[in-house]
């Protein structure tokens, strides 16, 4: 009885999901072009990112395109935008149309020429007319006519959504993969398709995140745990030392590659600075580089300066672990990754921490027994 009830419940859920999916398409939206005797737009498409839709008609008689863009802000009070880019494929150079619903319930729509990440104006480089906006149950629609070159066959389009508007100024959008990949060609002739792939910049961001998560978030703590908990066993000497050095050197090399990747990404992101993440990354590189030299200046065990070397080596090591884990999670927040990646990292670090705690108890037991046997 219970299994059959569960099966029925799953069936109902599946049907509901299919119904909701089929309803959430542009073909189920009936939008008319006010500039063309309220005729239904000739074409529509489900944009591949941000649950947005586009309806359009290419008017060859006057070389223009009538457009209706449909999207939902991530939060009430947020904004949506659609743009064409005559000079590139991304945000810089985009001739945008931004809309949001104000506190008075009125939809405000305005043009935005994104000349750079830090320079914007409302003076577009393209001719437009009939710009207006509507809102219905949280869904915002932007209507506009844009002039295109004669016999144009395609346009570069960019679309976006943002969480809020402050004093009439739109606040920054998220930097999740779907936000960074919300762009593509708009075909004015024939069939329409947009690549669902991830662009090279997003791939490099993901590589940067993975390299640093493996380095600072896992290999460095593992190397410290090996040194801390294996050296108390005589049978593990000198194996523990080579394992420790191998872990730390591997973590350093991987971390440096990730750090350099981050510097490159930062140099390509004009006007976007993650100050805390960047500064912690620089500090980690400096601390870890100094830590690597510890191997070259390590005095013998019976040397009078060995105690000071131990203090320096241990304090730097634990500081690197602490800052590294903090920066890994700051990186997750910047990438706005899905929860599964952050959860996987938490599970890995937690497993390492629990193992370390168990080994810490064992270490103290072994040390205390040795002390009692020497008395």
Annotated binding-site ranges for heme b: 208, 244, 277, 313
- What is residue 126's DSSP assignment? S
Q: Residues annotated in the binding site, as ranges? A: 208, 244, 277, 313
Starting at the edge strand found earlier in the chain, the sheet holding 139-147 runs 43-46, 53-59, 64-71, 139-147, 128-136
Cβ atoms of 310 and 298 closer than 8 Å: no
Structure-block tokens of residue 40: 């239904």
Which candidate, 165, 144, 145, 158, places its Cα nearest to that of 73? 165
Strand 128-136, strand 107-114: pairing = unpaired
d(CA 45, CA 65): 15
**Helix, strand, coil % (nearest 5) of the chain?**
50, 20, 30
Nearest-angstrom CA–CA distance, 255 and 52: 38
Cα gap 242→265, rounded to integer Å? 34
Cα–Cα distances in angstroms (integers) from residue 107 to residues 12, 73, 99, 142, 163, in the given order: 38, 13, 7, 10, 15
Distances (CA, A) of 51 to 139, 191, 194: 11, 21, 14
Instruction: Name the burial class of residue 48, with classes exposed (0-12), middle (13-18) and buried (19+) by CB atoms within 10 angstroms of its CB.
Output: middle
The 10 Å Cβ neighbour count of residue 262 is 24
DSSP at 205:
H
To 5 degrees, how large is the angle CA 95–CA 189–CA 33?
60
Q: Give dist(CA 81, CA 279) in Å, integer.
A: 33
């Amino acid at each position: 009885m219970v299994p059959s009830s569960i099966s029925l419940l799953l069936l109902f859920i599946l049907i509901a999901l299919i119904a909701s999916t089929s309803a959430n398409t542009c073909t189920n939206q009936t939008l008319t072009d006010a500039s063309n005797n309220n005729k239904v737009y000739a074409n529509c498409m489900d944009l591949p990112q941000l649950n947005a839709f586009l309806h359009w008609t290419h008017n060859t008689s006057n070389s223009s395109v009538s457009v209706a863009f449909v999207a939902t802000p991530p939060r009430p009070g947020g904004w949506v935008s659609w743009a064409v880019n005559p000079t590139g494929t991304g945000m810089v150079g985009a001739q945008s149309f931004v809309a949001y619903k104000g506190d008075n319930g009125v939809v405000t729509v305005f043009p935005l020429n994104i000349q750079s990440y830090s320079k914007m104006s409302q003076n577009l480089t393209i001719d437009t007319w009939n710009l207006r906006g509507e809102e219905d149950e949280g869904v915002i629609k932007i209507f506009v006519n844009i002039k295109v070159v004669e016999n144009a066959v395609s346009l570069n389009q960019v679309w976006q959504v943002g969480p809020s508007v402050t004093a009439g100024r739109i606040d920054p959008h998220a930097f999740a993969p779907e936000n960074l990949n919300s762009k593509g060609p708009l075909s004015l002739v024939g069939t329409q398709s947009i690549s669902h792939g991830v662009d090279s910049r997003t791939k490099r961001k993901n590589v940067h995140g993975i390299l640093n998560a493996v380095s600072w978030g896992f290999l460095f703590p593992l190397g410290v745990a090996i040194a801390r908990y294996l050296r108390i066993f005589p049978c593990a000497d000198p194996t523990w030392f080579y394992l420790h050095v191998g872990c730390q050197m591997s973590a350093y090399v991987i971390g440096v590659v990730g750090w350099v990747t981050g510097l490159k990404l930062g140099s390509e992101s004009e006007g976007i600075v993650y100050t805390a993440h960047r500064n912690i990354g620089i500090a980690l590189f400096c601390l870890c580089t100094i830590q690597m030299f510890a191997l070259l200046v390590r005095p013998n065990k019976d040397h009078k300066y060995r105690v000071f070397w131990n203090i320096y080596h241990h304090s730097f090591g634990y500081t690197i672990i602490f800052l590294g884990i903090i920066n890994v999670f700051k990186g997750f927040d910047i990438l706005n990754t899905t929860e599964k990646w952050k959860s996987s990292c938490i599970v890995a670090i937690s497993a390492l921490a629990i193992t370390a705690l168990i080994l810490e108890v064992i270490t103290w037991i072994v040390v205390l027994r040795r002390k009692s046997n020497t008395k």
